[in-house]
Amino acid sequence: SNFSSVLAFDLGASSGRAIVGRLDSEAGWITIEEVHRFSNDPVKVGDRLHWDILRLFHELKQGILQTKHLGYTDIESLAIDSWAVDFGLLAASGELLGNPYHYRDHQTDNVMDKVITSIGREKLYATTGLQFLQFNSIFQLVAIQQRNPELLKRAETFLMIPDLLRYFLTGEKHSEFTNASTTQLLNATTKAWDTELLEQLGLPGEILLQPVASGTRVGALTPDICEELDVASIPVIAVGEHDTASAVVAVPALDEDFAFLSCGTWSLLGTETDAPVLSEQAQAWNFTNEGGVYGTNRLLKNIMGLWLIQECKRTWDKEGKNISFAELVKLAEPVKPFQFFIDPDDDMFLNPAHMPKQIQQYCRDTNQIFPETEGEIVRCILESLAMKYRYIFERTEQLTGKSYQGLHIVGGGIQNELLCQFTASAIQREVWAGPVEGSALGNLVVQWIALGYIADLREARKLIRNSFPVKTYTPQGSAGWQEAYARFEQVASRSTVK
Ligand code: LFR
């Protein structure tokens, strides 16, 4: 038949969802239904911050059940994508050793600099092509080796979060390529684990599995799970299991060359290239080269993103204020523009105890007046993010020597229309916002490519473009943004991270 239904699990740092996609391949049309949504709440125990991995697995099962209850009896495959860099370690018995750490755990504080000193910054960048972020898996493994060496000694298998959840579902252990590329242990040129680097750091390379290409079928639901949920077995596909890889699959670009912003807890801004860009300039600007599906490379930079607002909201919720995201944006709207800026990517914002105070502190440190009300703080965040987008957008153009007509934004962040508008005004180009379910759609279409319903990435993007709305934002108040940008740059130049 022309119809195919598949199931995507898309796990973000703050929430996860199960989405059924239905493809009408003759009409060239995709529809989606969210069948399950759940929050993802990290758990702090003592000094450590963990993911609640068994709860997440429980929610995957709930998603499968919901799919059945809603009458989808013809699911042809399922796949998982999630945030990157984090992992679980399995014992020889196949059991999980401990709870996976959250990448914002402070165990990696100060580890990166030591590794850079021992390996050399140039060498590490030339080998892996990855941006230096203190939570990359390489630094987490070194932190564990220093703090809890027994854990590494007992480990037989290293599995990234989607690999691990997929293993729970299928009983099969595989490492998926796009996610493996975020560990900073994969060689950017050979696409294999860099044994020399592993040896130099004394890390147990034997726990790493050779990555499989995205779009590979890697098992099916175990008989146990089928019995528990009373469902027929469903094939499982390793899609671009890094959520950003999947989000960029879903960019509805018509041109070969395009700039994207994947907007969620993180903002990932950059472009797709044929090969890693390992130039001196890319290294100096700390751009990353992450593996994409079907041989693509993502040249991009992490920007702190909506985490800044999520954390402010969490603090205010604790104080009993309970203001919704939509209301926070409304409070920001009437605030006088361009009064205060932060560099969203300063280390001090990675995981502070109290985000609103941290933002005020940054403003004081940089001799600015500081935002006081919720509206002022959110305004400061949104304007600063838009300015930082311009900064990275321009550097992306400089690195590729290309000029982009506008910026595609995908992901949940496009619901923040004020941010989309600010972004268009800041970059002085059009912003094309949509689709909102970027990662889940990228996950779905790669399943359909694997199943043979869609020919390739190009056709997938065309299908997405036809099936989901894209909203255009045009620049406004350019002179004001231009003048303020110079002040933003000056303030941001004191940052710990450029
Ligand atoms: C976005 C993302 C980023 C990665 C960060 C941490 O959700 O996957 O690409 O740098 O989370 O894993």
pLDDT digits (tens, 9 = 90+) for 425-472: 999 999 999 999 999 999 999 999 999 999 999 999 999 999 999 999
Q: To the nearest 10°, report the CA torsion of 174, 175, 177, 181.
A: 180
| Residue 84 CA, ligand 1 centroid: distance in Å | 5
pLDDT at residue 498 greater than cutoff 50: no
84 touches ligand 1 (CB under 6 Å): yes
User: So what's the ipTM on this one?
Assistant: 0.98
| Residue 369 CA, ligand 1 centroid: distance in Å | 32
Give me the pLDDT at residue 450, please.
98
| Residue 315 CA, ligand 1 centroid: distance in Å | 22
User: Whole-structure pTM over 0.95, yes or no?
Assistant: yes
- Which atom belonging to ligand 1 lies closest to the Cα atom of 265? 7
243 touches ligand 1 (CB under 6 Å): yes
pLDDT at residue 270 greater than cutoff 70: yes
pLDDT at residue 222 greater than cutoff 50: yes
pLDDT at residue 497 greater than cutoff 70: no
Q: Whose CA is nearest to atom 12 of ligand 1?
A: 84
Rounded to the nearest angstrom, the gap between the alpha carbon of residue 235 and the centroid of all alpha carbons in its chain is 25
Section 135-139 average pLDDT: 98
The tokens for 236 are: 């499982």
Confidence band (pLDDT; 50, 70, 90) for 199?
Answer: very high
Substitution candidate for ligand 1 out of 263, 268, 443 with most atoms within 8 A of CB: 268
374 touches ligand 1 (CB under 6 Å): no
302 touches ligand 1 (CB under 6 Å): yes
193 touches ligand 1 (CB under 6 Å): no
Which residues are CB-contacts of 69 (< 8 A; sequence separation ≥ 6)? none
The C-alpha atoms of residue 14 and residue 3 are separated, in whole angstroms, by 32
What DSSP element (H or E) covers 386?
helix 374-400
266 touches ligand 1 (CB under 6 Å): yes
The C-alpha atoms of residue 150 and residue 115 are separated, in whole angstroms, by 20
